[in-house]
Amino acid sequence: MRELLLSNDAVTISFAQAVLREAGIHSFVADQHMSVVEGSIGAFPRRLLVDPDLLSRARDLLDEAGLGQWLIRSDS
């Protein structure tokens, strides 16, 4: 899995997952349970991960959906 999106906003993550799901792209939210550790203050962003083979397509879809500012652009 490769990192695609980074956000502290659960609504942004949920919307991104819905866009990807509609396109048939499975995603996984990493770090979603960090709120237990951090005390629910939103200090640690959640990461949305996708299959490396679908990364470019997923990135394009989310960019078109207006989520470009949260996308992780590095392919390293």
Asked whether the beta carbons of 46 and 8 are under 8 A apart, the reply is: yes
Mean pLDDT for all residues in the chain: 89
Rounded Cα distance between 69 and 53, Å, is: 22
Partnered with residue 2 across adjacent β-strands are 50
- Give the pLDDT confidence score for residue 31 in this predicted structure: 86
- Give the pLDDT confidence score for residue 8 in this predicted structure: 87
In the block, residue with structure tokens 């951090």: 38
- Give the pLDDT confidence score for residue 69 in this predicted structure: 96
- Give the pLDDT confidence score for residue 60 in this predicted structure: 97
CA–CA distances in Å: residue 3 to residues 35, 39, 41, 50 = 19, 24, 23, 7
Rounded Cα distance between 72 and 4, Å, is: 5
Confidence of residue 73 (pLDDT cuts 50, 70, 90): confident
For residues 68-74, average pLDDT: 91
Tell me if the domain spanning 2-70 has CATH number 3.40.50.720.
Answer: no
